[in-house]
Amino acid sequence: MATVKEFRNNVRPNWCPGCGDFAVQAALQRALGNLNLEPENVAIVSGIGCSGRISGYVNAYGFHGVHGRSLPIAQGVKLANRDLTVIASGGDGDGFGIGMGHFMHAARRNMDMTYIVMDNQIYGLTKGQHSPTSAFGFKAKTTPAGNIENAISPLQIALAAGITYLAQGFSHDVNQLTELIQGGIEHKGFSLINVFSPCVTYNKVNTYEWYKQHVVHLEDFPDYNTADRSAAMAKVAETDGLCTGLVYHDDTRKPFDQLIQGYKPEPINAQNLTLEREMFDKVMEEFA
Amino acid sequence: MATVKEFRNNVRPNWCPGCGDFAVQAALQRALGNLNLEPENVAIVSGIGCSGRISGYVNAYGFHGVHGRSLPIAQGVKLANRDLTVIASGGDGDGFGIGMGHFMHAARRNMDMTYIVMDNQIYGLTKGQHSPTSAFGFKAKTTPAGNIENAISPLQIALAAGITYLAQGFSHDVNQLTELIQGGIEHKGFSLINVFSPCVTYNKVNTYEWYKQHVVHLEDFPDYNTADRSAAMAKVAETDGLCTGLVYHDDTRKPFDQLIQGYKPEPINAQNLTLEREMFDKVMEEFA
Amino acid sequence: MLQELSWKVGGQQGEGIDSTGKTFATSLNRMGYYIYSYRHFSSRIKGGHTNDRVRISTSQKGASADFLDILLAFDQETIDFNGHELRSGGIVIGDAKFSPVLPADIAQGVRLFSIPFTKLAEQSGAAIMKNMVALGATARVMGLEPTFCAPVLQSMFGRKSQKIVDQNLGAVQAGYDAMSAEGGDFPEFQLSPPVPDKHLLMIGNDAIGFGALAAGARVMPAYPITPASDVMEYLIKKLPLVGGVVLQTEDEIAALNMTIGAAYAGARALTATSGPGLSLMMEALGLAGMTETPVVIVDSQRGGPSTGLPTKHEQSDMFAVLFGNHGEIPKVVLAPSTPEECFYATIDAFNYAEQYQCPVILITDLALSLASQSVKPFDYDAVTIDRGRLATAEELAQTEQGQMFKRYERTQNGISPRSFPGQKGGIHHVTGVEHSEIGRPDEIAGNHTAMMDKRLGKLRNIELPNSVTYTGEANPDVLLVGVGSSAGPIGEAVARLNQEGLRIGHAHVKVLSPFPVKTLQSYLAKAKQVIVAESNGTGQLLQLMRLSGLMHAEMSSFLKYDGTPFLPNEIAAQVKGSMLAWQR
Amino acid sequence: MLQELSWKVGGQQGEGIDSTGKTFATSLNRMGYYIYSYRHFSSRIKGGHTNDRVRISTSQKGASADFLDILLAFDQETIDFNGHELRSGGIVIGDAKFSPVLPADIAQGVRLFSIPFTKLAEQSGAAIMKNMVALGATARVMGLEPTFCAPVLQSMFGRKSQKIVDQNLGAVQAGYDAMSAEGGDFPEFQLSPPVPDKHLLMIGNDAIGFGALAAGARVMPAYPITPASDVMEYLIKKLPLVGGVVLQTEDEIAALNMTIGAAYAGARALTATSGPGLSLMMEALGLAGMTETPVVIVDSQRGGPSTGLPTKHEQSDMFAVLFGNHGEIPKVVLAPSTPEECFYATIDAFNYAEQYQCPVILITDLALSLASQSVKPFDYDAVTIDRGRLATAEELAQTEQGQMFKRYERTQNGISPRSFPGQKGGIHHVTGVEHSEIGRPDEIAGNHTAMMDKRLGKLRNIELPNSVTYTGEANPDVLLVGVGSSAGPIGEAVARLNQEGLRIGHAHVKVLSPFPVKTLQSYLAKAKQVIVAESNGTGQLLQLMRLSGLMHAEMSSFLKYDGTPFLPNEIAAQVKGSMLAWQR
Ligand SMILES: Cc1ncc(C[n+]2csc(CCOP(=O)(O)OP(=O)(O)O)c2C)c(N)n1
Ligand SMILES: Cc1ncc(C[n+]2csc(CCOP(=O)(O)OP(=O)(O)O)c2C)c(N)n1
Ligand code: SF4
Ligand code: SF4
Ligand SMILES: [Mg+2]
Ligand SMILES: [Mg+2]
C-alpha cells in the first residue's frame, strides 16, 4: 500500500520560500497517502499560475493544462476512467476568474472529483495583479487606487451552484487541510476545498498573520450542521467567508458519472472498442 | 418626451407565435417609455439565441453580439458612455451557460446597467437541447434519458455573486415585468431581471400553465424584506427559485462607473482626445 | 424516360416541409433511386421561407440539379422565390388555398396546377397532412404508385398507430386523385426504373456520427451549434448503447478541453463544432498539439465571419483550422467530400490522431454536413482501429521506482510511447509549457528547438494516402481543383465538359494537412490552366497551394460566397468562359 | 577607446538583478550612451537564474552584442551559464561569497575578479545593496566615476529618504574601491565619450502605452499575461489622469468584447495580450471585423505553442493573427520593429482602425516588447488623431423619424459613416449576423456577397505607407527579409557585411496586412538570393510571401526558435554560408 512517501517526487517546487502552496502540496500528499491510494491511480490536473505547478510536484499522473481549464480537463479524465481518483487544482484567478464558468458548471454537474483552490487573493505568477477574491479597496498592480470590484465569495458561489462537498482550509494548518482534502476525495461527488494559501511576495495584506487573526474554525461551533445548506449559507455570510473546516456536505446525491445512461461499471477506457458486426449492420439499416 | 411608441420599430419579430419573448419585448418597451427615455440614449446589447433577437426589435441603439458575450460588450458601452441607459439581454443558455463567467463577474463588478434574461429552460434557437436551467430529469434532444445535471438557480447565483438588484418576472404578467424592468433601470448598479419566458415549441414541460401553477408572488408575502440578503437567499431556496417580483435590492453601494479613479462626470466618449503638449512632455520625461 | 428529375417543396418553416422532403426522398431511395436533397432554411424556428430540393436520379449525384422540374408550393412566396429555377416545361403544383399564380420571370411553358392540398388533407383527417396530399399529386405526375411512400410512412407512424398511417395514405391517394382529375398524363416526368441497388440515405453528419461509433469513440463533449449539432445528437442516441457518453458542456472551450482530458486518459474522444465554436477552441487546440493528445474535432463550416449566415453554405474556415491557434503544432486536417468519405475519414481521423499523437480536424461544409445523399452501404471489414504507439507492458515494467515514464521520448520519427493514468510504471507529467522527455517544464534553449522539431517533424514531408482524387483528362486544358462538397458539382461539370469534347481534369483535395504538395504538383504540371473553385471570398485553397510552393502560370480562383453551393452548370460556364479568355 | 561595451549581470530571480541592470542602463542612457538591454528570466517569481545583458554604445543599436565584455555574477550558476559568451580578454566579477571559479569552456584570457559584494554591502548598511557594490566595481573597470549612477539613485530613492541614497552611493563607492584595490587600470574597457544627445530609455510596451495615451485611447479592458501586461500596467497609471479607465477583466474573451463595446460607443479602446489570450480572442476578433468596429489589439508574441515558453522570444503568432478567426474579415496588422516605431505605430493603429473601421492588431515580439532601448524623443507634432468617417450633424439630422441610419451603407470604397449611441438620428442595428445597410440580419444570397465585397474591399489592393523599410545594397546578392525586433540584428549584420564588401540588402516588413506585395516584389526582383529570417519553426513570413504570390528562385528561410532573439553574427554567418552554398 502506498503511503505519503510514494506521492513525493524529486522535483524542488519553484515557489517562493514561505509560499502557502507548499502546505497544500504536503496536505494533498498526506491525504492521498492516508487513503492508501496508488500513485498511478491518481490524476492531478492543474491550471496555470504559481499554484498550477502543483501537478508536477506530486508523484502521480499530472496534467498541467491551460489557464482556467483544469476542471473541463479533469472531467474528461474522469469520464474516460472513473476508477481514477481525480484531483483538479489551481489558483483563485484560474478557478474563479477565467475559470468561473467551468467551476459553476462542474459544481452543479457533480462528477466525482476533488477541486483544490489555492486562494491567495492575488495573481501570483503574473506578478501581483488583483484577483476575483481580492477585497474591495485592495491595492495591487492593477488597482493602484484600490480595487473597486467586490470580491467573489468562493463558498457562497459554490453553495449557490449546488455543490455537494464544500470545505475551506488554511495553509497554516496542514493537519486540518489534510483531513478536509481527504474528506473531499472520499466524498462521492464534486468537492471544493478552498485554501487560504498566502502569497508572501505580492499580497502584503492577506498574510499568514492576517488570516490567523481573521479566520474562525467551524469546529468551534458544535451545533453547526454541515448537512444543512441554509445554515451553511448563513454561516458563510456571518463569517464573511472567513471560516475554515467542513462547510457543507450532502451525501444523498449520486454523482454524475453513476447517472450516465448506459452506465457500465467498467471504465470507458477499458472497453473493447470494436463495434460488433451485428450492431454495425443494425445501425446501418436505420439509414436504408 | 418619448413614450412606449417611440421604442417600437417596424420589424416583425421572428419568434414563434406564443413565444414568451414577445411579452419581454413589450415590457421592456413600456419600461423605457414610462421612464421617458429617448431611444437614442438607450443601448440594447444582446447575445445569440431566439431571445438574442430582441435588440433588433426595439427602436434604440441595438448590438447583437456573439453567443454569451452580451455583458462584456454592454459593460464596454457603459464605460465609454455612462450617460446611456444600457440594457443587456439574452437567453438562459447565453447568460448562464456559455456566459456564466461574465455574469458572475458583471454582478460583482456592479456597473450601472440592466440585464434581462429570457429563461425558457431550453436552447431554443438550436432546436431544443437542455440548458443550464433545465431541471434534473428534464428530457430534451440532448438528454433523451433525462437530464442528469442539476439546474442552475439564477437567483441563488446572482445573490451569491453580490448582485445589487435582483428580480424575477414571468411573460404572462407584463405589468409586473414592466415594473421590475423599470426598477432595474432606475437602480444605480447592476440589475438582473430573470424572466420565465416559455418556449412554446421545444419546452413542453415548463409551459405557461406549468409556471402559473408553480410560481409564487413575492408580493404575497407582506413581511418580505427586499433589502435583507439572507432573507432573500432563504426565500429563493424555500420557493425553489419559483418566485416572481423584486427579490433583493441594495441601494447603498455605488456603481463601478462612479468609483473609477479619476472619474469625470462627462462621459469618456465626449472627451477631447488630444493630449496636451505639456503632459506629453512630462510623460516623455519619465523615460529619460 | 428521364434519367433524373429535380423536385422542390417549399413553404414556411415549421409547416413540415422537412418531413415532406424526407418522406419523398427516403421512399425513392428505398426504390433504388439515387437522391441528393438539399434544404434551404434560416435561423428561426417558425416562419420564414424554407424549401427542400430533391434530385432523383438513376445514378449517383453529388449536387443539386441545375434546374427544377417540379415545384410544390405551400405559399406564393415559394413560387416567387423559386419559380425562376424551373426549366421550361416544368410544373408548379400549389395549394389552391392561397390561389397560386405564376410570376413574370418564369420560364416558357411552365404550367401551374392548383390543388386543394389543405382542403383534401382536412377531409382526410387533419390539415397537417397537406404534405401528404402534395406527395400524392407528385406521385401522379411522376407516374409513381400512390403507395410509393407507404413503407416509409409505415416505419414513421406504424409504431404510434395504424390509423395515422392509413389516414396519411388516404391523403396521398387524395392528392393523387386530384392530380388525375386535372386530366392527362405527364410522360415527360417519367423516370427510368432504378438500377436495383441498395443504398443508404444520409447526411454527412450522420456518416460522421456512425463513423465515430464504428471507430470506437466513447466520449463526446460538445456544445450545440448549427450545422454540427447533428453529430452530437446522433451519438447521444448511440454511445450509451456501447457504454460511452455524450456530454453537453457549458461552452466549446470546455468541450475541447474535456475531449483532451478523455483522450489523455485513454478514451477515443471527439467534439464537433462550427465557426464560432472553432474560434473558441483555438487555445485548447494548441494544448492538444503541445501535449500530443489525440483528439478528433469535427468542424462543419457555415457562412462567416462571426455569426455570419448560420444556416448557409461556405468554406471559409480552412485557414482558421490550419493556422488559427497561436504557436506552431502539427495537425492532420481531413476534408471528405461525400457522406461515404465522411464515414471512412472519421475512422481515419481516430487512427491518425493516435498514430501521430496530434489533433485531427475533420472539416466539412454545410452542404456536406446537411445534404441527404444516397451512398453505398459501408464496409464493415474496412473499419480498422489502430491505437498507435502505446507503451507495452514490458516497457511499463521497466520504469524504475521513482522514475518517470518518457512519454515524450525523442524518437527517430518523433512519435513517443503513450501511457495512460491507471498504468503502473507509466507516470509522467503533461504540460502545455515546453517540456522534457518526461514532460517536465524545460525552458533551456536547445530543448525547445529539439521538441519543436520532434513535434513538427511527425508530419513533415508526409503525404497521407488518398490525399487527392483525380478524375477526367490526364493532360487537361483546364484543371479544376476543389475541396469538400464541391466534388459533386465539379465532378459533374467535368464529366459533362469532357463529353462535349473539352479536355478537363478534376483534382479534389481530401487532406489539407499535411498538404499533398507533391501529388498536386504532378497534376498542376500537366495542366494548361488551373481553376481553383471554392466557396469563400478570399480563395483560401488557392492561397494554401501558393503558400506550399505550388505555382502555375495560369492559375485563378473561381469563388462563390453567396451562401449556396456550386451548381454543375456554374462550374461548366466558368470553365468555358476562362478557356475563351485564355485563348484570346 | 571602445565604441561599445557589452555587460551582463546575473543571479537568482528576486535578488534584484533587474534593478541592477536598470540602474546601470538608465545611468548610462542619461549620460548620452545608447543602450540595448535584454533580460533573461523565467516563469517563476523567486529563484532560478536570471540575467540582464546591457549593451552600451556610442551609436544606436537594436540588438544584443555578439559577445560579452564584462560579466557580473552573484552566483556560480551565472558564470557557468553565461561564461561562454565572454570574448577573449573579457572579465568576470563575482561575489567573493560564493568563491567564484571560471569554467573550462571559457575564452582565452578571461580574467576573474572576486569581490566581496555581499560583505561590503553589509558594511555599507544592508546585504541587498550588493548590487550597488557590483555597480561600483563595474564603474571602476569602465573608467566611470563612482557617482555615475547618483542621479538615478536620487530619483529612485530620493523621495523615500536621503539616507538610503547615501547608503547606496556608499556601497557603490565601496565596490569601486575594492576593484581599485585589485590594482591596475582597465584601458581596454574604456568607452569613448558619448555624443551629447538626449534620448529616452524604454521598452516597446512602454512606447505602446505612451502611444495609446497620445492617440487618445480612453478605455482598456485587458487580462494580465506575459509579455503584454506592462501595457496595461502602464496605462493604469496614465489613463485616470485623462479621464480614461483600465479594467482588468475576467478573461481575454471579456477583454476584447468589452473593447468592442467601448469602441462601438465612441471611445478609442484597446486591449493587449499574448498567444494564449490571442487564441481566446478569435471569436470576438471576427465580431469586430463583421461589425466594422475599430478596436486596437496589441499582441506581444512569446514562445509557443500553448503555454509554451512564456518568458522567451518567438515570432510564431503571425499566422494566428492573420488567419485565426473563422470566416473572412479585413484587418490591419502593424509590425513595428523598435520602441520608436511602437509609439508611432500605436498612433497609426488607432487612426487606421477608425479610417478603415476594422480591427487593427499591433504585433510585437518579446524582444521588442521587453528589451530596453535608447530611442529618440518622440515628436509631439507627429501625433495626429483621425477618427475616420463619422456621421456629420447634417447627415444625422436627415434621418427620418422611424428610419434607421445606414451605418453599413455600401459606398464606393466600402467605408460607411459611423454614428454612436447617444446620437439622435443615428440609430441603427449592429450584429455579427450578415446584415443590411442598416444592420438588420439579411440572409439573401446577393446581400452576403455584396457585404463581403464591401468589407474585404476596404483593404484590397491597398498598401499602407512605410509598409517596408529598406537599407543596404539596392541590387543585392543576398536580400534579407525580416519582421519585428530582428530589424536590429539584421540591420547590424547587413551594415557589417556591406562594409566587408559584400552586397547585401535588408527589407524589413512593417505591415503584415494589407501585405505590401508590390513593394516587396520590387525588392525581390533586384536580389539574386533571398533569405527570410524569422524566429519560428515553420517560416511564417516566408509562407506569407509565397501565399501572396511573391516568388523567387533562390528564396530560403533562416529560422531560429530556441527562445532567444537573433544575434548580428548569427545572421552574418548565415548569409555568408548561404552565399557559399549558392555559388557552389
Ligand atoms: C489565457 C491566458 N491568459 C493569461 C495567462 C497569464 N497568467 C498566467 S497565471 C495567471 C494568473 C495567476 O493567478 P492565480 O490563478 O490566482 O494563480 P497564482 O499564481 O496566484 O497561484 C495569468 C493571468 C495565461 N497563462 N493564459
Ligand atoms: C460560440 C457559439 N456556440 C454555439 C452557438 C449556437 N447557438 C446559438 S443560440 C444557442 C443557444 C440558445 O439558447 P438560449 O441562450 O437559451 O436562447 P434561446 O434560443 O432559448 O432564447 C446556441 C448554442 C453560437 N451561436 N455560438
Ligand atoms: S509569487 Fe506568491 S503565490 Fe507565487 S510562488 Fe511566490 S509566494 Fe507563492
Ligand atoms: S423556439 Fe421557443 S424560444 Fe425560440 S422563438 Fe420559438 S417559442 Fe420562442
Ligand atoms: Mg492567486
Ligand atoms: Mg433558452
**Span C341-363, pLDDT tens digits:** 999 999 999 999 999 999 999 99
What are the φ and ψ backbone dihedral angles of B45, each rounded to 5 degrees? Answer: -110, 130
CB contact under 8 A, C45 and B124: yes
Query: Do the chains contact at B73 and D260, CB–CB below 8 Å?
Result: yes
The matching CATH number, chosen from 3.40.50.2000, 3.50.7.10, 1.20.120.80, 3.40.50.970, for B4-260 is: 3.40.50.970
Give me the pLDDT at residue D584, please. 59
Chain C residues lying within 8 Å of B68, measured CB to CB: 251
CA nearest ligand 4 atom 1, residue: B124
Longest dimension (CA), chain C: 90
D248–A48: do the CB atoms touch at under 8 Å? no
Burial class (CB in 10 A: 0-12, 13-18, 19+), C521: middle
d(CA A106, CA C250): 9
List of chain D residues with pLDDT < 50: none
**A17 contacts in D (CB within 8 Å)?**
46
Q: Write out the DSSP string of D190-258.
A: PBPPPP----EEEEHHHHHHHHHHHTT--EEEE---TTTHHHHHHHHHHGGGGT-EEEE-SSHHHHHHH
Q: Using the beta-carbon criterion (under 8 Å), do A259 and B156 form an inter-chain contact?
A: no
Arithmetic mean of pLDDT, A248-254:
96
Are D170 and D347 within 8 A, CB to CB?
Answer: no
CA C427 remoteness from chain centre: 40
CA A52 to ligand 5 centroid distance, Å: 10
Answer yes or no: do C385 and A80 touch at CB < 8 A.
no
What lines the ligand 2 site, CB under 6 Å? B 48-51, 67, 90-94, 118, 120, 122-126, 131, 199; C 223-225, 252, 276-277, 280, 307
Nearest Cβ partner of B101 from A101, A144, A151? A101
CA of A240 to the centre of ligand 1 (A): 26
Q: Give the residue ranges of DSSP H helices in D413-528.
A: 445-457, 487-499, 517-526
Q: Does A259 touch chain C (CB under 8 A)?
A: no
Query: Which grid cell sits at B103?
Result: 455574469
Return the percentage of chain A with pLDDT > 70, whole number: 100
Number of alpha carbons in the 13 Å side-chain half-sphere of residue C300: 31
Report the gap between the CA of A142 and the closest CA in chain B (Å). 12
- Residues C224-244 have a mean pLDDT of 97
Q: Whose CA is nearest to atom 5 of ligand 4?
A: B15
**Residue C277 contacts residue C308 (beta carbons within 8 Å):** no
Predicted pLDDT of residue C581: 76
Residue C584 has pLDDT above 70, yes or no: no
CB C520 within 8 A of CB C505: no
Rounded distance between C-alpha atoms, residue D561 and residue D316, angstroms:
9
DSSP state of D2: B
Mean pLDDT on B153-171: 98
Q: Which atom of ligand 3 is nearest to the CA of A18?
A: 7
Q: Is B104 at the interface with chain A, CB within 8 A?
A: yes
Q: Which CATH number fits domain C468-583: 3.40.50.2300, 2.60.120.10, 3.40.50.920, 1.10.443.10?
A: 3.40.50.920
Amino acid at C279: S
Residues of D in contact with C327 (CB under 8 A): 275, 303-306, 308, 314, 316-317, 320
Q: Nearest CA of chain A to the CA of B24: how many Å?
A: 26
> B137 at the A interface (CB within 8 A)?
no
| CB-CB contact of A22 with A50 (8 Å) | no
Cβ pairs A/C, distance under 8 A: 208
Q: Which stretches of A81-153 are DSSP H helices?
A: 92-96, 100-109
The 8-class DSSP code of residue D294 comes to -
Domain span(s) for CATH 3.40.50.920 in chain D: 468-583
Nearest CA among C243, C222, C244 for reference residue C231: C222
Size of interface C-D (CB pairs under 8 A): 220
- Per the structure block, which three cell numbers stand in for C66? 441545375
So where are chain A's domains? 4-260
Q: How many CB atoms lie within 10 A of CB B145?
A: 14
Q: For residues C203 and C52, is the Cβ–Cβ distance under 8 A?
A: no
Q: Which residue of D has its CA nearest to A143?
A: D236
Whether C70 and chain B come into contact, CB under 8 Å, resolves to: no
CA D394 to chain centre: 43
Closest by Cβ to D261, choosing from B45, B277, B288: B45
The pTM of this model reads: 0.98
Most ligand 4 atoms within 8 A of CB, residue of C12, C45, C226 to mutate: C45
Mean pLDDT of A136-156: 96
Q: What does the alpha-carbon distance between residue D570 and residue C160 come to, in Å, rounded to a whole number?
A: 78
pLDDT the model gives residue D583: 64
D123 by Cβ neighbours in 10 Å (0-12 / 13-18 / 19+) ranks as middle
The C-alpha atoms of residue C234 and residue B22 are separated, in whole angstroms, by 33
Nearest residue (CA) to ligand 1, atom 6:
D225
Helix (H) or strand (E) holding B259: helix B256-259
Residue D69 to residue D89: CA distance in whole angstroms: 8
Residue B183: all three cell numbers together = 426598477
CA distance D276 to D259: 18
For chain A, state the CA radius of gyration. 20
User: Which of A108, A272, A275 is most worth mutating to test chain C (most C CB atoms within 10 A of its CB)?
Assistant: A275
Give the residue whose CA is nearest to atom 6 of ligand 4.
Answer: B16
pLDDT per position as a tens digit, B107-155: 999 999 999 999 999 999 999 999 999 999 999 999 999 999 999 999 9
List chain B residues with CB under 8 Å of D425.
40
Fold adopted by D4-189: Pyruvate-ferredoxin Oxidoreductase; domain 3 (3.40.920)
Question: In the predicted model, is pLDDT for residue B160 greater than 70?
Answer: yes
Taking the Cβ of residue B34 and every Cβ of chain C, the question of whether any pair is shorter than 8 Å is answered with: no
Q: Is A232 on the interface with B (CB under 8 A)?
A: no
Q: Which of C429, C433, C434, C442 to mutate to test the interface with A (most CBs of A within 10 A)?
A: C429
Please name every residue paired with D55 in a beta bridge, in sequence order, or none if there are none: D6, D36
Instruction: Write down the pLDDT at residue C185.
Output: 84
CA D236 to chain centre: 19
Shortest distance between the Cα of D212 and any Cα of chain B, in A, equals 10
List the shell of residues around ion ligand 5, using CB closer than 5 Å: A 91-92, 120
Scanning the structure block, which residue is given the C-alpha cell 454524475? A256
Residues 303-362 of C with CB under 8 A from B: 306-307
Residue D21: what pLDDT?
95
Nine-digit cell string for D169: 552611493
CA distances from C358 to B181, C219, C297 (A): 50, 17, 11
Q: Which chain D residues contact residue B10 at CB under 8 A? A: 402
- Give the closest-approach CA distance of D237 to chain A in angstroms: 8
Partner chains of B (3+ C-beta pairs under 8 Å): A, C, D
Per-residue confidence (pLDDT) for residue A3, from 0 to 100: 86
Instruction: Mark which residues 498-517 of C lie under 8 Å from A by CB.
Output: none
Residue located via cell numbers 465557426: C275
pLDDT value at residue B265 = 86
Question: Mutate which of D302, D326, D429 to test chain C, going by most C C-beta atoms within 10 A?
Answer: D326
The answer to whether B97 and D462 have CB atoms below 8 angstroms apart is no
Q: Is B9 left (phi over 0), alpha (psi -120 to 50) or beta?
A: beta
Sequence-distant (≥ 6) Cβ neighbours of residue C431 within 8 angstroms = A55, A56, A63, A64, C291, C439, C440, C441, D307
| The ligand 2 atom nearest the CA atom of C276 | 1
What confidence tens digit (pLDDT) does each residue in B189-228 have?
Answer: 999 999 999 999 999 999 999 999 999 999 999 999 999 9
Of the bound ligands, which one is closest to the alpha carbon of residue A204?
3
Give the minimum alpha-carbon distance from A265 to chain D in angstroms, rounded to a whole number.
Answer: 35
Asked if residue B167 has pLDDT above 90, the reply is yes
The answer to whether the beta carbons of residues D93 and D102 sit under 8 Å apart is no
Rounded percentage of chain C residues whose pLDDT exceeds 90: 94
Q: Which of C47, C224, C306 lies closest to B129 in CB terms?
A: C224
B11, B56 in Cβ contact below 8 A? Answer: yes
Q: Which of B142, A261, A256, A112 is nearest to C245 (CA)?
A: A261
Residue in B closest to C232 by C-alpha: B142
Residue type, D454: K
* Cβ <8 Å between A105 and B101: no
Q: Which of D48, D232, D240 sits opposite A14 (nearest CB)?
A: D48
SS (H, E, C) D35-66: EEEEEECCCCCCCCEEEEEEEEECCCCCCCCC
At residue C582, the pLDDT reads 65
The pLDDT tens digits for B32-48 are 999 999 999 999 999 99
CATH, domain range D202-382: 3.40.50.970
| pLDDT score recorded for residue A106 | 98
Pairing type for strands C34-40 and C49-57 reads antiparallel
Distance B117 CA to ligand 6 centre (A): 9
Determine the residue of D225, D252, D309 to mutate for testing ligand 1's pocket, defined as the one with the most ligand atoms within 8 A of the Cβ atom.
D225
Centre of ligand 6 to C-alpha B40, Å, is 28
Is the CB of residue C287 less than 8 Å away from at least one CB of chain A? yes
Separation CA C507–CA C530 (nearest Å)? 10
Instruction: Determine the Cα–Cα distance for residues C67 and B84; give it in Å rounded to an integer.
Output: 53
pLDDT score recorded for residue D582: 65
Quick one: average pLDDT of B146-166? Answer: 98
